[in-house]
Amino acid sequence: MPRPKKWRMVCCLPPVLEFVPVNTPCAADEIVVMTVDEYETIRLIDHEGFSQEECSGYMKIARTTVQLVYNNARKKIAAALVEGRTLRIEGGEYRLCEGKETYCGCGGCRRHRCGQPHPEREDITR
């Protein structure tokens, strides 16, 4: 019997889901797909300044898993930049924060939206 999936906690969906290069001589039709949980590790570690240990506690996964997800995300960003490919953020093994946490890093979860749920983000689980 396989081990049950451990969902990764994500505060909110990214505000922009696709980045398209403007002047691409080649590989413009190829798309690099980054998952939402990969995006979250980039956001927490590189943008918010979390350590991998802090990120793992926030996302409720092991530090080694954070390291693997983070490295995959960095490779995808590098491929999109160097090869001039479109970067799309979609899918992944995640659950959105429901506002039950004592700490929310970005203020995008239901707890910090002052009772105004975003119609596209309400009750999304992937």
Q: Which residues contact 76 (CB under 8 A, 6 or more apart)?
A: 32, 33, 34, 38, 87
Q: How far is CA 13 from CA 3, 78, 87, 95, 97, in A?
A: 27, 21, 15, 10, 10
0.95 exceeded by pTM: no
Instruction: Give me the domains of the chain, ranges plus CATH numbers.
Output: 8-112 (1.20.140)
Q: How far is CA 14 from CA 17, 20, 25, 115, in A?
A: 6, 15, 28, 20
Q: Tens-digit pLDDT profile for the chain (126 aa)?
A: 777 777 888 888 899 999 988 876 665 578 999 999 999 999 999 999 999 999 999 898 999 999 999 999 999 999 999 988 999 999 988 888 876 666 555 554 544 444 444 434 343 343
- pLDDT confidence of residue 75: 98
